[in-house]
Amino acid sequence: MTSSRPNRIDDRLDAAWIWDRIARAVIFIGGISAIVFVVAIFAFVAKEGLGFILQKLDLSFFFSSPEWRPAQEPEPEFGGLALIAGTASVTGLAMLIAVPFSLGVAIYIGEFATGKVRETLKILVELLAAIPSVVWGFIGLTILNPIIIDLFDVPVGLTVLNAGVILGLMAAPIMTTIAEDALKAVPDSYREAAEAMGATRWQVIRQVVLPSASKGLVAAILLGVGRGFGETMAVLMASGHAINIPTGPFDSARALTATIAAELGDTARGSDHYKALFSLGILLFLVTFVINLLADVLVRKGASDRS
Amino acid sequence: MVSTASETKLSVKDLSIRYGDHVALEGASFDVRENEIFGIIGPANSGKTSFIRAINRMDEMTPGMKVHGSIEFNGKPVDSWRNLYALRSRIGVVFPLPVGLPMSIYENVAFAAKLRGVRGKGALDEVVERCLRRSALWDEVKDRLDSLGSLLSGGQQQRLTIARALSQEPELLLLDEFSIAVDPVTTMRIEEVLKELKQEMTIVLVTNLTQQAQRLADRTAFFLEGQVVEVGETKAMFKGQTKDPRTTHYIEGRFG
């Protein structure tokens, strides 16, 4: 009897069917646009810089000379070594600070803290991640600068040390969040089984939790490295912005990103200087690409080891 | 109390376990004797697993779980142990669903020995082979000890966890429905192993299968809705010599 089955659906294109089509289309456009944007950005950067790299830029000079004089007349010099060294040293120092710091906080939040303490800490960490980079740069400029001068008795406080500390503090919150997610993904049954055997909390963390969260932790660290390479404003303000291959933490330095940000406004569109800055952009793009690829390979390798 | 410690492995006195307002176990009092297999039977939600968890103080990692009363292990209340890890290392636990730790088969079984400070390949090899043989898994995995424990089948993983528990050389072995994920043939093999292990350790066997308790347990406790209905000799209990009619009803399958 028909009346006993009020919910049966006829074969017609009803509202649910139409909404399904609309939702699919919107999601498809969203998904595809991510690819379109990445390709478009790369194409734009490549269009502006690639021709210059291939035809005019002396690559061996770029990678071996610290002389970055893009506005020099009549013969500008495009040596990138100081900028590369500046970015690498600031990022390296930042990771030296951020990796142990963020892993420590993540392990505390994920494995030890409970209840309100845990929730409060998580909110605080997320709040830290939301501080704009220009504020961090400001802290480097006005607070860390005099501290470094007083503490180490050096003439200038805007150095690799300053930028590294600031960048480390900036990268740590997001790294903490990712690392904590990785720890949370480790099943509690592992912890329970190991603890039931008489393992101490530290033994459980060291021998069971960290190894099984390792791929997520690596992803967290690589994300931090990517953040370090890409950060511009804070590094510009805290590093001293001096073209110089730093030989220690108390030397000033200049980062690739900061160079682009500081100089692009002064260049004529289409000039060699303008194109040289886009070349730096391509270099940054490639480094980030390699880091992401590396993270992807590591994550896949970890996954295949496990299954 | 101290004079009977050599015979009494676990002494449970007025034990109550609560999760918030929910009472999992109320006023339980009984002894588990040295070198016996002590069966615990009863339907779901009767407090069997909560009791197991209270013995090695797993309540401390279970949010909301509160234990009152006392459990004495070798005559010493478990909550008076200052080094919790030492207590746990002397008690082996096998959970209902096998947990292969995310490491190789070899590392799984060598884990407890390493925690105890056993070093050297020879000594660890010996522990791994002995425990895997005893849990009836050796022949199936001896050629692939370096592969991941989690790749094994459910039944194999459960034997791996039993091997792991044995590697602790425990005085007390707690088995919480170990045969849920194990096929009947393997269950029988493990049951034979347990009969032998009784010479060396005390075994508490929580089981949903009353026949399993009948086959293995020297004495059996019947838990029902958080109450210990009765504790008695298994043989007598299964002959119908029970103190409470509900026990007979449960054994005969009239409820639960």
CB within 8 Å: A198 and B61 = no
Among A287, A295, A288, A307, which residue's Cα sits nearest to residue A215?
A295
Q: Are residues A162 and A289 in the same domain?
A: yes
Taking the CA atoms of residue A181, residue A186, residue A187 and residue A192 in that order, the dihedral angle to the nearest 10 degrees is -120
Confidence of residue B255 (pLDDT cuts 50, 70, 90): low
Distances (CA, A) of B66 to A231, A251, B22, B96: 50, 59, 10, 22
Contacts of A208 in chain B (CB under 8 A): 101-103
Closest chain A residue to B57, measured at CA: A196
Give, in order, the Cα–Cα distances in Å from A187 to each of A184, A260, A307, B148.
7, 45, 16, 16
Mutation for testing the B interface, residue in A197, A202, A206, A208 having most B CBs under 10 Å: A197
Of B197, B159, B153, B193, the residue nearest B179 (C-alpha): B159
First to last CA, chain A: 52
In this prediction, residue B5 has a pLDDT band, given cuts at 50, 70 and 90, of very low
Do A47 and A145 fall into the same domain?
Answer: no
In chain B, the number of structural domains is 1
Is there a domain that residue B71 lies in?
yes
A222 and A138 both lie in a single domain: yes
In this complex, the residue of B85, B161, B168 whose CB is nearest that of residue A200 is B85
CB count within 10 Å of CB A218 equals: 18
Instruction: Mark whether A114 and A57 lie in a shared domain.
Output: no
Residues A39 and A146 in one domain: no
Q: Is residue B190, in this structure, part of any structural domain at all?
A: no
What's the pLDDT band for B102 if we cut at 50, 70, 90?
confident
- Say if residue A86 is in the same domain as residue A62: no
- The helix-helix angle for A214-230 and A81-107 (nearest 10°) equals 140
B102–A200 CB contact, under 8 Å? no
Answer whether residue B60 is part of any domain: yes
- Look at residue A303 in the predicted model and tell me its pLDDT: 58
Question: How close does chain B come to A96, measured CA to CA in Å?
Answer: 29
Task: Name every chain A residue with its beta carbon within 8 A of the beta carbon of B152.
Answer: none
Dihedral in degrees, nearest 10, Cα atoms B25, B30, B36, B42: -30
How far is B44 from B117, CA to CA, in rounded Å?
Answer: 39
Instruction: Name which of A246, A241, A288 is nearest A261 in CA terms.
Output: A241
Judge if A30 and A91 occupy the same domain: no
CATH (domain of A290): 1.10.3720.10
Tens digit of pLDDT for each residue in A216-256? 899 899 989 988 999 999 999 999 999 989 999 999 999 99
Distance CA A54, CA B105 (A): 55
Residue A293 CB: number of other CB atoms within 10 A? 10
The answer to whether residue A36 sits within a structural domain is yes
Quote the minimal CA–CA distance from A174 to chain B in Å. 27
Q: Does B112 touch chain A (CB under 8 A)?
A: yes
Q: Examine residue A226 and state whether it is found in any structural domain, yes or no.
A: yes
Side chain identity, residue B9: K
User: Does A4 map to a domain?
Assistant: no
Asked if A194 lies within 8 A of B111 by C-beta distance, the reply is yes
Average pLDDT over chain A, rounded to an integer: 90
User: How far, in Å, CA of A133 to CA of A137, rounded?
Assistant: 6
pLDDT the model gives residue B62 = 82
Tell me whether residues B115 and A191 touch, CB distance under 8 A.
no
Q: Rounded to an integer, what distance in angstroms lies between the CA atom of residue A230 and that of residue A117?
A: 33
Q: How do residues B169-227 score in pLDDT, each as one tens digit?
A: 999 999 999 888 888 988 998 899 899 999 999 999 999 889 999 999 999 999 999 99
Contacts of B108 in chain A (CB under 8 A): none
State the CATH number of the domain containing residue B254.
3.40.50.300
* pLDDT at A8 (0 to 100): 77
In the block, tokens 């998904």 appear at A31
Contacts of B201 (CB under 8 A, 6+ apart): B35, B92, B170, B171, B172, B173
% of chain A exceeding 70 in pLDDT:
96
The H helix count followed by the E strand count for chain B is 10, 10
A6-43 pLDDT per residue, tens: 777 778 888 989 999 999 999 999 999 999 998 999 89
Is the confidence at residue A305, as pLDDT, over 80? no
Q: Are residues A123 and A195 in the same domain?
A: yes
Sign for the pseudo-dihedral over CA of A150, A156, A160, A162: positive
Q: pLDDT tens digits for A101-113?
A: 999 999 999 999 9
How many C-alpha atoms does B13 have within 13 Å on its Cβ side? 13
Q: What is the pLDDT of residues A33-42, one digit of tens each?
A: 999 998 999 8
Q: Is B245 on the interface with A (CB under 8 A)?
A: no
**Which of A113-122, A233-242, A287-296, B49-58 has the lowest average pLDDT?**
A287-296
**pLDDT tens digits, A143-153:** 999 999 999 99
A142 domain-assigned: yes
In this predicted model, what pLDDT tens digit does every residue of A141-189 receive, in sequence order?
A: 999 999 999 999 999 999 999 999 999 999 999 999 999 999 999 999 9
One domain, residues A49 and A198: no
Residue B1 scores a pLDDT above 50: no
pLDDT value, residue A289: 87
Q: What are phi and psi of A96, to 5 degrees?
A: -55, -35
Euclidean distance between CA atoms B17 and B72, whole angstroms: 15
Q: Is residue B4 over pLDDT 90?
A: no
Tell me which H or E stretch contains B219: strand B219-224
Per the structure, the complete domain to which residue A169 belongs is given by 82-306
φ and ψ of B85, to 5 deg: -70, -35
Distance CA A155, CA A106 (A): 37
The continuous run of DSSP H or E covering B173 comes out as strand B172-176
- The pLDDT of residue A130 is 93
- Note whether residue B241 is domain-resident: yes
Pairwise CB contact (< 8 Å): A198 & B86: yes
- From CA A25, how far away is CA A33, in angstroms rounded? 12
Q: What is the spatial distance between Cα A84 and Cα A229, in angstroms, rounded to a whole number? A: 10
Q: Give B97's contacts in chain A (Cβ within 8 Å).
A: 189
Closest Cα in chain B to A114: B63
Q: In this predicted structure, what is the pLDDT of residue A7? A: 74
SS3 content of chain B, % helix, strand, coil (to 5): 40, 25, 35
Flag whether B153 is in a domain.
no
Residue A209 has pLDDT above 80, yes or no: yes
Residue after which a domain boundary falls, among A69, A97, A117: A69
* Residue B8 belongs to some domain of the structure: yes
Residue B18 backbone dihedrals phi, psi, to 5 degrees: -130, 145
Average pLDDT over residues B98-116: 90
Name residues whose C-beta falls within 8 Å of residue A90's C-beta, 6 or more positions apart in sequence: A160, A163, A164, A167, A228, A235, A239, A253, A255
d(CA B193, CA A208): 29
Number of domains in chain A: 2
Report field, pTM of the whole predicted structure over 0.90: no
For residue B155, being part of any structural domain is answered with no
Alpha-carbon gap, residue B149 to B132, rounded angstroms = 12
CB within 8 Å: B102 and A194: no
pLDDT band at B2 (very low <50, low <70, confident <90, very high): very low
Instruction: Among B56, B63, B97, select the one facing A196 at the smallest CB separation.
Output: B56
Inside any domain, residue B113: no
Residues with Cβ within 8 Å of B84's Cβ and at least 6 positions away in sequence, in order, are B57, B60
* DSSP structural state of residue B3: G
Asked whether residue A61 falls in the same domain as residue A173, the answer is no
Q: What is the pLDDT of residues A83-100, one digit of tens each?
A: 999 999 999 999 999 999
Question: In Å, what is the CA distance from A224 to each residue of A98, A110, A173?
Answer: 8, 19, 9
User: Does the pLDDT of residue A199 top 50, yes or no?
Assistant: yes
Pick the last residue of a domain from A41, A69, A97: A69
- Starting at the earlier edge strand, list the strands of the sheet with B65-73: B22-33, B8-19, B65-73, B76-77
DSSP bridge pairs for B230: B222
Range of B217's domain? Answer: 1-90+212-256
> Is residue A29 packed enough to be buried (19+ CB in 10 Å), middle (13-18) or exposed (0-12)?
exposed
Q: Are the Cβ atoms of A190 and B61 closer than 8 angstroms?
A: no
Same domain, A45 and A175: no
pLDDT band at B252 (very low <50, low <70, confident <90, very high): confident
Cβ contact, residue pair A306, B85, below 8 Å: no
* Partner residue facing B88 (CB), from A198, A212, A306: A198
Mean residue pLDDT of chain B comes to 90
Do A89 and A231 fall within a single domain?
Answer: yes
